[in-house]
Structure 1
Amino acid sequence: MNIYRGCNHGCIYCDSRSACYGIERFDTVRAKRDALWLIDRELAAKQKKGVVATGSMSDPYNPYEKQEQLTRGALEILARRRFGVAIATKGTLIVRDIPLLQQIRAHAPVLCKLTITAADDALSQKVEPGAPPSCARFEALHALRQAGLYAGILLMPVLPFIEDNQENIGTIISLAAQAGANFIYPAFGMTLRQGQREYYYAQLDARFPGLRGRYVRRFGAQYECASPRAKTLWQFFKKQCDAAGIAYRMDEIVRQYRSGYHAEQTALL
């Protein structure tokens, strides 16, 4: 479910800029015409209930959502149609909809994923200039957890030569634990393809002079660009998450969520 087209978070690494998606004027956010009517119509036709995901192509909590309230309207439809929701966002406006997410949670799954790639606010504003600073996202995560919602962090992409160090990863884990995160799901690297690559390299030239050459030499025209430190970081990441009691493998996250959800539903009966 992508209600908006384009994004103004300005993340220098965004895969949605790739030419294959054909999104013109990507930095201009536009609402899709009749989006809520279409969502309601599609869900009404479903014979089985399920979970609707949002946030894969454009952020559902971009700044315009504050006045447009299209994401909120979609959540109201999901609540009425008794569907669950999985939200991926960098937007702290998600806390506005906590009561609505709790309402959905009473009858269907709710999964909240906040993308955080840099522990340091100055670095996060450098690579994600239009998004809320990381500290505000950690505060939003804490609010979601305090409200009893299943929530955690998408630690992706971890930009090679910029964010792929133990200090950054370790601090994110520590702050996530303080916020009560249920999980952290990582990807130690990034993707680069036509359209996205050219934009990213131009941003490197402007924000991290001299770094483009390291990417060209290391990755060439590769699509998947894993951090050279990926294996070492993964071992460090696992150890730190295990110590903090934070889930990080997908099967573990799903199992943990399902067990908690079913236990809560049983308690409600």
Structure 2
Amino acid sequence: MVHEIEARTLLSRQKQPENWFGVDYNLNVYRGCVHGCIYCDSRSECYGIEVFEDIAVKKNAVQLLKKELAGKRHKGMIGTGSMSDPYMPIERSLRLTRGVLETIAAAPGFAVQTVTKSDLIVRDADVLQEISQRTHATVAVSISTCDEEQASWIEPHAPAPAARLQALATLAKQDIYSGVLLMPTLPFLTDSRANIVKIVERAHASGAQFIIPWLGMSLRDRQRDYYYEKLAERAPGLVPQYQRTYGERYNCMSPRAKSLWELLHELCDKYGIVCEMKDVKRFVPPEPPEQLELF
């Protein structure tokens, strides 16, 4: 189901930009998502989305963004894709994300950071390239597995990993700063050394300049129930293993996290790829003009 809503605000200020690509402001033009990833934390009760597959479209997003940017004295990086994918299939016709990017491109002093699981992003490579040349643009392609069969049930309605990697290669060839979000890493499912090696090697072949990992996943309330329900359909023996290992914990790191991090670091050093957030290229906004004293 898709329905339109009138948003009152679009940009939300981030308190610690250094923790996430230097993003100063977050925005989402959609609420909910149709990719159906069984691990998505946005299903949790705290986000207040009752039926996550019902998509709310912020129909006034572009007009509202123009107004809000005009009133921002503090310039900076605008991030999109934190709560729902900005390149869901509906974006193909609505073009709201493209409108947002065009608005950012026309606003002096603003950069953009986008997270997506969709190869549709290559449609907007021209606008991303324009932003990149004026200020800065970062694209993070989310990949948790390179196994196409595994991806087909843990991310059932998202484009295949091969399509995402091809999109990454296309963006990288146009000098758009881009890389991979290797997250989440699902314990007992995608936390094998072989999976990590394959992702790094294929990301490198696609021109990735960074690979930022989370070697675990989140589990809480409604989202935990949904994950276990889907897990029971394909790998029922893993549900009690998760329950024994994590109980009611929210932050569920892979038991192999330490060795996987060492492996990832070694491979990224080998290929010259950044793997820590502190080393990711950032946008530094211009200093506001100094107020001159009258006397």
Q: Structure 1 length normalisation: TM-score? A: 0.93
Opposite residue 68 of structure 1, the aligned amino acid is L
**C-alpha contact (below 8 Å) 2:135/2:283 kept by paired residues:** no
CA RMSD of aligned residues (A): 1.4
SS in 1 for 2:129: helix
1:54 aligns with 2:80: yes
Match in the other structure for 2:212: 185
SS in 2 for 1:195: helix
C-alpha distance in structure 1 between counterparts of 2:132 and 2:272, whole Å: 24
SS in 1 for 2:113: strand
Match in the other structure for 1:202: 229
The residue correspondences of 1:77-88 to structure 2 (distance < 5 A) are: 77-82=103-108, 83-88=110-115
Match in the other structure for 2:241: 214
- Name which of 218, 224, 229 aligns with 2:251: 224
SS in 1 for 2:134: coil
Q: Structure 2 length normalisation: TM-score? A: 0.85
- Name which of 242, 250, 257 aligns with 2:277: 250
Deviation at 1:258, TM superposition (A): 6.1
Share of identical aligned residues, percent?
47
1:75 aligns with 2:101: yes
1:93 aligns with 2:120: yes
Opposite residue 116 of structure 2, the aligned amino acid is T
C-alpha distance in structure 1 between counterparts of 2:208 and 2:283, whole Å: 16
C-alpha distance in structure 1 between counterparts of 2:236 and 2:248, whole Å: 20
Q: Which runs of 5+ in 1 are unaligned?
A: 260-269
- Name which of 153, 177, 180 aligns with 2:180: 153
Deviation at 1:122, TM superposition (A): 1.1
Q: Note closer, same or farther for the CA distance 1:80–1:258 as it changes in structure 2 (3 Å cut).
A: closer
Match in the other structure for 1:235: 262
Match in the other structure for 1:38: 64
C-alpha distance in structure 1 between counterparts of 2:51 and 2:63, whole Å: 25
Match in the other structure for 1:263: none
SS in 2 for 1:214: helix
Higher percent of residues as helix: 1
Match in the other structure for 1:171: 198
Aligned residues: 258
